[in-house]
Structure 1
């Protein structure tokens, strides 16, 4: 092994602890609880729901989401327009310091648009949530029946 190659390896090993530390989430991040979605057909749109719990002392915001299982992923809310409920996009979802927000049917939610394959009950779908402070948080959405109102074991949750 030549001297320059040894020096390069030694430098890389010296940087390794800093790289590992940079990948660790900061203390007091955002925990994701009970991530689930409703079943949907291939090419269709599926709603995803979960609870975001901010364990930190600073507020955070969910600013985007992505999934390899969908053409697009959007943050939405549901609003009443007269007698009709309509979904509309939102730029971000606020998560208060030391608090939580629940994304649920009929309220705030994540839409997975243009599913690459059908989301079948009993399977899971990957989703990455991106927060302003906490950064990227990967989760697995447990797929429930098309008309489910909550995650498995919480069918009556509203």
Structure 2
């Protein structure tokens, strides 16, 4: 009795092709996430982190229950004057870490509902969109660090008026 392997081979080939047709899920990692503590009645604070995407993607949104409004801002210097402006998206080139830090791009938590206290955690929901327009959300628990915390080289605000 002879058994034909043709149907099995065709089935395996179809499964293999189907696997190639499925979109690869973009994977973005978040490291070194933290939020700067606030003082009572302070209305805003910053959140910082390093994002690394496996495919070309962009950060298109951030949300948190601790604030009425959450935006990604870019710090700029025009002579001796520091300014901030909202950015709609942060490009995340494949495999390249992108730092959101006190000295450049960062997340602003505005209209704080309560004081953000050192030693607690702030939940952040990041929305990442890949090059094909597929969105994914990442849940991050960012530890709150002291008001004096800085990332990388210390940025001194003393020279600003």
What TM-score do the two structures reach when normalised by structure 2? 0.73
Q: CA RMSD in A?
A: 1.4
| Alignment map for 1:62-81 (pairs within 5 Å) | 62-81=59-78
1:105-144 Cα offsets, whole Å, 9 max, x none, are: 1100000001111111111111101011351101011101
1:98 Cα deviation after fit: 1.5
Whole-Å separation in 1 of the counterparts to 2:148 and 2:126: 24
Aligned to 2:45: 46
Structure 1 runs of 4+ with >6 Å offset: none
Aligned to 2:129: 132
1:2-61 Cα offsets, whole Å, 9 max, x none, are: xxxxxxxxxxxxxxxxxxxxxxxx54410000110111134510100000011x2x3100
1:58-115 Cα offsets, whole Å, 9 max, x none, are: 3100001001110000000100122111111111001101111011111000000011
| Native 8 Å contact 1:44 1:113 kept in 2 | yes
Aligned to 1:118: 115
Q: Is the partner of 1:106 in helix, strand or coil?
A: coil
| Native 8 Å contact 1:36 1:50 kept in 2 | yes
| Native 8 Å contact 1:78 1:85 kept in 2 | yes
Whole-Å separation in 2 of the counterparts to 1:65 and 1:94: 14
Rg larger in 1 or in 2? 2
Please, which runs of 5 or more residues in structure 1 have no aligned partner? Answer: 1-25, 151-156
Please, which runs of 5 or more residues in structure 2 have no aligned partner? Answer: 1-23, 154-161
What TM-score do the two structures reach when normalised by structure 1? 0.74
Whole-Å separation in 1 of the counterparts to 2:116 and 2:63: 16
Whole-Å separation in 2 of the counterparts to 1:124 and 1:78: 25
| Native 8 Å contact 1:43 1:116 kept in 2 | no
Number of residues of Structure 1 aligned to a counterpart in Structure 2: 125
